[in-house]
Amino acid sequence: DICPKRFIDSDEDPGGELLTRCCLLQEGFEERQSATFVPWGATLTEVRGAIDAIVRRAGVAWTPI
C-alpha cells in the first residue's frame, strides 16, 4: 500500500507540513494534523486553498497575489 494517508497516520513525524495528492479525494482538500491532501486532478483553486490552509496552520506571514 503506497497511500500517503497510511504514512501520515503512522507514528513517524513527517518533519513539517506536507501537501500531497490523494486518489480517494474527489474535490476540495482535506486537512490532517501535519498534512493537507488534494485530489489527483486538483484544480489550481484547490491547490491554492490547501496552501492557504497550510500557511494559516503554520502561522507564517503570507500574502497571496
pLDDT digits (tens, 9 = 90+) for 2-18: 778 777 766 666 678 88
Does residue 40 lie in a domain region?
A: yes
Does residue 63 lie in a domain region?
A: no
Q: How confident is the model at residue 63 (pLDDT cuts 50, 70, 90)?
A: confident
Domain of 43, in residue numbers: 4-58
The three three-digit cell numbers of residue 19, written as one number: 501537501
Is the pLDDT reported for residue 57 higher than 90? no
Helices and strands counted in the chain (H then E): 2, 3
| Number of compact structural domains in the chain | 1
Does residue 53 lie in a domain region?
A: yes
Measured between alpha carbons, how far is 53 from 57 in angstroms, rounded to an integer?
A: 6
